[in-house]
Amino acid sequence: MTGIPAGRQHAQHDSGIDLRPSELDVTVLDGKRILVTGIANAGSIAHATAARAHELGATVVTTAMPRDLEGARDAAAGIDADVAVLAMDATSPADLDAVATWVRDELGGLDGALHAIAFAPKAALGSVTGVPAEAVELAFRTSVHTYVGLGQLLADAAPPTGASLVGLDFDASRAWPTYNWMGVCKSALEGANRYLARELGPRRVRSNLVAAGPLETRAASAIPGFELLLDSWEQRAPLGWDPHDAGPVADAICFLLSDLARAITGEILQVDGGHHAMA
C-alpha cells in the first residue's frame, strides 16, 4: 500500500520542491474511530480527510446536511462501501443527539472528529456594515457554535485515553478581501478553539485548528471575489500552492487526529504553502 491515495494530484513548486508526502506510516490511525462532518461531495476537504483517515487505518463515519446526502453517499462509496453517512444538521440539538446515540450504539465511542462546517449568507460575505443581525447570527451559529457542540459530543463519546477534535480555519489574523463576516466568524472560531482546549483538556480531549490555504471547493465558490485569494497564494506562497489539491490539508488533519499529536492542543496549524509567513 502506498502513502498516496489513488487519483490524488499533488503540486510541485517551480523551485523543484516536491509537495508529495514520502513514505508514511499507513497505520498511524489504526483502530481509531473518526467522525468526519460536512461532506457534500468528493471535492471537499472533508472527503479528502475521510479518504486519508481510512487509508491510515481508521474506522470512518461521515455526516452531511440532509440536502447533501445523495452526493455525500456517492463520495463515501468511492472511499469504501462500509463508510457510513449520517444525516446531521449540526445546528440541531436533535440531530447531534441522534448522531451521539448512533456512535454509542454502533461504534462504542469516538477517538476523533473533524469539524468541516461553515456557512454565511451572501449578505454577510458582501460587506461588514449594513448586514442584518439575523444573517450574522446564522453565520456565527453555523460556523462557530457548532464547533463547541461537536466538541461536547466527542468528549462525551471519548475513551479514557482521550480524543482529538480538529476544525477547519482560514487565517483570521488579517482582514481579507471578500471574506467579511466569515472572517469575523473564523476569529471567533479561533477563540472557541482555545477555550475548548482549556475546558476539555482535563478529559484528555485535544482541540486544534488547521488554517488551510484557499481550495477550489463548493464552499469557496460561494465567496465573491475568491480569485483574489488565489492570486495572492500564487504570488506569495514560497512552497507553491495547488488550489485543486486538498491532500496536504487532509494529511495535516490526520496528524492532529493521531497519537503523534498527543501533546498538542489549542493550536492553529497553518497548511498554506508558507503564505502566512511572508511579508
pLDDT score for 115 = 98
Domain limits, the chain: 33-273
Task: Quote the pTM value.
Answer: 0.89
CATH of domain 33-273: 3.40.50.720
pLDDT score for 139 = 97
CA distances from 217 to 92, 99, 118, 224 (A): 24, 25, 12, 13
pLDDT score for 253 = 98
Our CA dihedral for 185, 186, 187, 191, rounded to 10 degrees, sits at 100
pLDDT score for 25 = 62
pLDDT score for 223 = 73
- pLDDT mean by block of 10 residues, the chain; 279 residues: 34 45 73 96 94 97 95 94 96 98 98 97 92 97 98 98 97 90 97 98 98 85 78 94 95 98 98 94
- 60-93 core/surface letters (b: 16 or more CB in 10 A; e: else): bbbbbbeebbebbbebbeebeeebebbbbbbbee
Find cell 457548532 and name the residue: 146
How far is residue 114's CA from residue 10's CA, in Å, rounded to a whole number? 22
What cell was used for 259?
497519537
